[in-house]
Amino acid sequence: MTDLKLPPAMSELRPALREIVTQGHEQAPYFTALLSSKHGLIITVDNREERVIERPPSAGTVLSAFDGETIYERAVSGFDRGEVQRAARELLQGRSFTQYASPAKQGSQQSGDFAPSLQIDPAELSIREKLDRCRELHARAKDRDPRIVNVQVRYIESGEHAVFASHQADLAQRLQRVHLFLVVIVAGEGGQVQYDYRAKSGGAGWEVLNFTEEEIQSLVDSTVALLSAERIEPGEYQIIAAPGVSGTICHESFGHGVETDMFLKQRARAAHFIDRTVGSSLVNIFDDPSQAGGFGSYFFDDEGQMAAPTQIVEEGVFRRGITDLYSATALHIPRSANGRRQDYSRKTYARMSNTYFGAGTSSLEDMLAQVDHGIYLDKWSSGMEDPQGWGIQVTCHYGHEIRGGKITERVFAPIGISGYVPDVLESVTAVGREWRLEAGNCGKGHKEVVPVASGGPHLLLKARLG
């Protein structure tokens, strides 16, 4: 039996949902209940202080009824049976939902309890043990260079429980995400302050949070090197994007740009490009919430759709977008498991999970050998979507010069990547075989933040840098 570790109040309400959704279903063919609880912990240890704080939790119930045109929802705090029953009555009162029939594919019953496989479950470690692990990492990093003015270790843990019920579904899941940042801050001459960071993360336990001595020293070295970083001469460059940078390009281009709620709002140029070439034949792009250990992974989405991979771009051809219930229904396209909400107080949108370029066959050495003068983009810091204009904005914390097929010590920071999405993807001439995902938080515009991962292999391409 799966141990979900459901919060007691959620556990108590779950059996009563059957009656609530059955009654709701009599009036509204599409009637669902979602119980959602999110909680977590943040531990910070630096040279001057320590903090252990709770991650702002959320816990509540969402009742949804769809009349084929509008989704009506009541979202109430907590899991009180009486409150939820009252909210269900109020939601349905005075409205007619009978004209909408749920899609036929929902004809089969779905049930199951799902929990991730964790080697070192954060729920089994005490706060003291987690704090001590952070202190230990801090101690390993803090005295490695006289220019270091502060070293910060930041551990972020988030646990999530969800129960989804409809007249056809009874699903429950536990999700666990961990993120450990090591930040080094150095001071140079004239008050100059620079920093660099490295993160370990996953939809996993503490087993993925180990830093090697080499990784720590390399972080200190890269931070110190930033004291002599230059601004890059703007222009078009041959670049090699590290997996995290590749992932951010992917996320901002054929991630946000293929969320089908954007199709519905006529915000996505990709809507006009289904089965058309949008990049080099080396380019394959996926979104996969079922990726084991991914920071953006889940077993089912907030609308009860079971997680499965979606191939978005196949050998340079755009195949399909990622959906939520509403946009899939309105556009008459098949569902993917991407209906996600920030928390119970927000609606569902089509959102990414783990979005990435598929791996290729080239080694990094082979790719470097193809670059006489270019830039190795080491680390991304942010990105923003432009689904209609297909412009790219990805900001990199820094990059290194490539000369004669070798990465030099010359460093540029920050670096902005810009360009037109199809031009950038068309310019991909080699795809690496080393592949990884990096964790992030993704907003829809400046709100609706959900955990995601982005990644891929090294990519050799051309883009404008500035």
Name residues contacting other proteins, limited to 74-113 (CB under 8 A).
Answer: 74-78, 80
Residue closer to other proteins by CB (options 202, 387) is: 387
Of the candidates 255, 287, 244, 238, the one whose C-alpha atom is nearest the C-alpha of residue 429 is 238
> Residue from 187, 199, 274, 317 that binds other proteins (CB under 8 A)?
187
Name residues contacting other proteins, limited to 25-44 (CB under 8 A).
none
Residue with tokens 């007619």: 96
Question: Residue 116 is inside which H or E element, if any?
Answer: none
Contact residues for 288 (Cβ-Cβ < 8 A; gap 6+): 294, 307, 308, 309, 310, 353, 354, 356
Q: How far is the CB of 300 from other proteins (least distance, A)?
A: 20
Window 124-163: contact mask with other proteins (x via CB under 8 A): ---xx--x-----------------xx-x-----------
Residue closer to other proteins by CB (options 368, 415) is: 415
Beta carbons of 327 and 261 less than 8 angstroms apart: yes
**Which amino acid appears at position 395 of this protein?**
T
Beta carbons of 258 and 322 less than 8 angstroms apart: yes
Q: Which residues pair with 440 in a beta bridge?
A: 452
Q: Which residues pair with 460 in a beta bridge?
A: 240, 430
Part in contact with other proteins (CB under 8 A); list of ranges 170-178, 299-307, 414-422, 425-433 = 414-422
Window 378-407: contact mask with other proteins (x via CB under 8 A): ---xx-x-x-xx-xxx-x------------
Residue closer to other proteins by CB (options 332, 447) is: 447
Backbone angles phi, psi at 92, to 5 degrees: -90, -20
Q: With binding defined as CB under 8 A, does residue 123 bind other proteins?
A: no
Beta carbons of 36 and 60 less than 8 angstroms apart: yes
Q: Please give the Cα distance from 23 to 224 (Å, whole number).
A: 64
Part in contact with other proteins (CB under 8 A); list of ranges 212-220, 291-299, 369-377, 443-451 = 443-451
Residue closer to other proteins by CB (options 148, 208) is: 148
Indicate the DSSP class of residue 98: T
> Residue from 94, 146, 190, 409 that binds other proteins (CB under 8 A)?
190
Beta carbons of 425 and 391 less than 8 angstroms apart: no
Q: How far is the CB of 405 from other proteins (least distance, A)?
A: 26
Q: Please give the Cα distance from 376 to 465 (Å, whole number).
A: 12
Residue closer to other proteins by CB (options 325, 402) is: 325
Residue closer to other proteins by CB (options 213, 275) is: 275
Residue closer to other proteins by CB (options 54, 365) is: 54
Beta carbons of 92 and 24 less than 8 angstroms apart: yes
Cα separations (Å) of 303 from 65, 149, 166, 397? 12, 48, 10, 36
Backbone angles phi, psi at 232, to 5 degrees: -75, 145
> Residue from 2, 18, 22, 70 that binds other proteins (CB under 8 A)?
70
Name residues contacting other proteins, limited to 326-355 (CB under 8 A).
326, 330, 345-347
By CB under 8 A, the count of residues binding other proteins is 76
Q: How far is the CB of 419 from other proteins (least distance, A)?
A: 8
Q: Please give the Cα distance from 452 to 443 (Å, whole number).
A: 10
Backbone angles phi, psi at 350, to 5 degrees: -75, 120
Part in contact with other proteins (CB under 8 A); list of ranges 105-113, 156-164, 191-199, 357-365 = 191-199
Beta carbons of 257 and 387 less than 8 angstroms apart: yes
The sign of the dihedral angle between the CA atoms of 210, 216, 218, 222 is positive
What is the per-residue DSSP string for 300-323?
B-TTSPBP--EEEEETTEE---B-
> Residue from 100, 114, 181, 195 that binds other proteins (CB under 8 A)?
195
Indicate the DSSP class of residue 61: E
> Residue from 73, 303, 378, 426 that binds other proteins (CB under 8 A)?
73
Q: How far is the CB of 384 from other proteins (least distance, A)?
A: 4
> Residue from 19, 22, 51, 406 that binds other proteins (CB under 8 A)?
51
Q: Please give the Cα distance from 425 to 307 (Å, whole number).
A: 27
Name residues contacting other proteins, limited to 250-279 (CB under 8 A).
264-267, 269, 272
Q: With binding defined as CB under 8 A, does residue 434 bind other proteins?
A: no
> Residue from 16, 27, 46, 363 that binds other proteins (CB under 8 A)?
46
Q: How far is the CB of 333 from other proteins (least distance, A)?
A: 15
Residue closer to other proteins by CB (options 38, 170) is: 38
Q: How far is the CB of 255 from other proteins (least distance, A)?
A: 15
